[in-house]
Chains A and B, each alone.
Chain A
Amino acid sequence: MIRFILTRLLRAFVTIVLVVTFAFVVLRLSGDPATIILGPEAPPEAIAAFRASWGLDQPVMVQYVQYFAAIFQGDLGMSMRDGRPAFDLVMERIPATLALTIPALFLKLALGVPAGVYAALHQGTAFDRTVMVAAVMGFAVPSFVLALGLVLVFAVNLGWLPSGGRDTVWHAILPIITLGLGGAAALARFTRSAMLEVLGQPYIRTASSKGLAWAVVVRSHALPNAAIPTVTLIGFLVGSLIAGAIVVESVFSWPGVGRLMVVAVANRDLAVVQCILLLVATTMVTSNLIVDFLYGALDPRLRHGARAAA
């Protein structure tokens, strides 16, 4: 079991290193921060001085090694734009993002899981078809289109809710709904198919043949089995708590990590972008790690598989 945990942790670590490396390379290939921050008309001497002061004149390999050496000392670099530590800038924005994504996560779970279970139990009924159509729409409609639609209806036409900013609780409502509906659609579809798969299994017929009421069969025999695949998707949703709101934050002018990211990318603010990506990768990998351990709790077959694999 200890070996199992250690291999998983090592794999998680390698994943994070790969993500950070990828981000590092792509950012170095995507344009010179000096010309972007100082402007295209800046004199060559100023640009050279800027590059030297941020270490951008060094070979990429040297920059890469220095970058990693700094990370292990807890230094995630300074923002090129306002000269403050990138980590502080990102941390300031996290509460705003979580204020959207955590309620949205609960909305996804509260809508998606029951809708999926109910649709599976009533396969082929009008409710099932409605859920499936809604789920496909939730998939197909990009979040910014849904966001703009909601703004048009509830902010512009009805005037019930504000269309952007972060002044009151009311400002959070439309972004949360936008985020929640998309995820709920995916979750409903996934839960439904997991549940249908389980309901067709012979052990469900066995449970009925014992004389258990259908509600008990569903609760004690079907749901624990359907939970196993569904937890994967829930883990992914938890993992995207930080990065999942980039588009929605932009549409609603919500000052969270997502908007910071968009601005930082536009400015080639290397340290800030890298810091956000490191954070996003760590969150995603951590939540996947938790899902891996949850599998063992949910499925006794994997407890042994894990031991055998380790």
Chain B
Amino acid sequence: MKAPLVRIKGLNVAFDGAPAVRGVDLAVHPGEALGLVGESGSGKSVTWLAALRLLPGKAAVQGRVTLDGRDLLSLPTPEMERIRGGRIGIIFQDPSSALNPVLTIRRQISEVLALHRGLSGSAIRAEAKRLLDLVGMPDAEGRLNSYPHEMSGGQNQRVMIAMALAGQPDLLVADEPTTALDVTIQAQILDLLQLIRREMGMALVLISHDLGVVAENCDRVAVMYAGRIVESGPAAALFDAPRHPYARGLIDALPTLEDTRRLAAIPGVVPDPRDMPRGCAFGPRCAHAGPECLLDSPPLRAVAPGRRLACARPDLDLTPARPTPAPHLAEVTS
């Protein structure tokens, strides 16, 4: 396997002493699509905001995040600014509030083009229009003079993507890019991300709480729970046969067309970061928890080629609660 583009090692993030990310190790390889899944509060967004140093000053960040062997967390600010938007682009959950309401679309895209590509004048104008065309914006020329409030959420997300692509990044981090959008628009935006990734050969980190979205769009998946990665592996293999009870639970919670029975919710709630349970953080919610689960927080270990698992009982038989996998999963795994 090629050397990873970005490698996160031993990342810890705490807010006012409450840990949000607890020892995350993650690698993103050039051109790959990595999915990061978990409930809200599991630390998946915080991991990448910390990696890009976009968290507020009160966040305590430890660990290493390397891009081409350089540690981003200790990089001087001007060099970090060249990486943000240049090497690594990021798009956010709610595009309507992520764009500046008083600046035109042209202005917001042009900033990136001037900063990272050194363009000016008519070249900026032409490139901004090309980017809007690329992200499938109707009437790109006219839209350049629009303000965010004059467009729909889906169009704003296209603008966000165009802005993130303007710096020609090697990695695009998409933080819940479709959560705030209508269901019909979600698919369009995800298709667009796939298309662009293939065309530009960039890597994609797709952060989502929606396993279905990640299954369809990613090569590899990492499942996060309470600030840790509990399982990772190739998307198809992981969804076919999850090894962690939490991953199993997430898959069982997905609705299917064939099965009209009640969805299997995971009982309980995510633990309070200030009051973590002893041993495995998922222990109190786990149907398979045994005495060994209370002893220690299980480390993430390789259990099969390309697959890693953090469970004190790695050999559980997690037969599906329902016979058929979700229809879109069947498509992926076939």
Q: Which residue of B lies closest to A211 (CB)?
A: B85
Residues of A within 8 A of B (CB): 201-203, 205-214, 220-221, 224-225, 228, 298-301, 304
Q: Which residue of A lies closest to B84 (CB)?
A: A211
What are the 10 A-B residue pairs with the smallest beta carbon separation, nearest first? A211-B85, A210-B85, A211-B84, A300-B147, A203-B100, A202-B97, A211-B81, A202-B98, A206-B98, A209-B90
Binds A, one of B111-119, B136-144, B271-279, B320-328: B111-119
19 additional A-B residue pairs with CB within 8 Å, beyond A202-B98, A211-B84 = A201-B97, A202-B92, A202-B94, A203-B101, A206-B92, A206-B98, A206-B99, A209-B52, A210-B85, A210-B112, A210-B115, A211-B81, A211-B115, A213-B77, A220-B103, A221-B103, A224-B102, A298-B102, A300-B147
- Chain B residues within an 8 Å CB radius of A214: 77
| Partner pick for A208 among B54, B82, B86, B163, CB 8 A cutoff | B54
The complex places the Cα of A212 from the Cα of B101 at a distance, in Å, of 17
The complex places the Cα of A299 from the Cα of B89 at a distance, in Å, of 28
Q: Which range holds the interface residue count of chain B?
A: 20 to 34
The complex places the Cα of A205 from the Cα of B100 at a distance, in Å, of 10
B121 to chain A: closest CB distance in Å? 18
A211–B97 CB distance below 8 A: no
- Chain B residues within an 8 Å CB radius of A213: 77-78, 81
Q: Which residue of A lies closest to B102 (CB)?
A: A224
A-B contacts, 13 of them at CB < 8 A, read A202-B92, A202-B98, A203-B99, A205-B98, A209-B85, A210-B111, A212-B85, A213-B81, A220-B111, A224-B103, A299-B102, A300-B147, A304-B150
A233 to chain B: closest CB distance in Å? 18
The complex places the Cα of A75 from the Cα of B112 at a distance, in Å, of 61
The complex places the Cα of A181 from the Cα of B150 at a distance, in Å, of 42
Q: Which residue of A lies closest to B149 (CB)?
A: A301
Once A210-B115, A211-B112, A213-B81 are accepted as A-B contacts, the answer to whether A225 and B86 lie under 8 Å apart by CB is no
B84–A207 CB distance below 8 A: no
Q: Which residue of A lies closest to B80 (CB)?
A: A211
B92–A211 CB distance below 8 A: no
Residue B181 lies at the interface, judged by CB distance under 8 Å to chain A: no
Residue B83 lies at the interface, judged by CB distance under 8 Å to chain A: yes
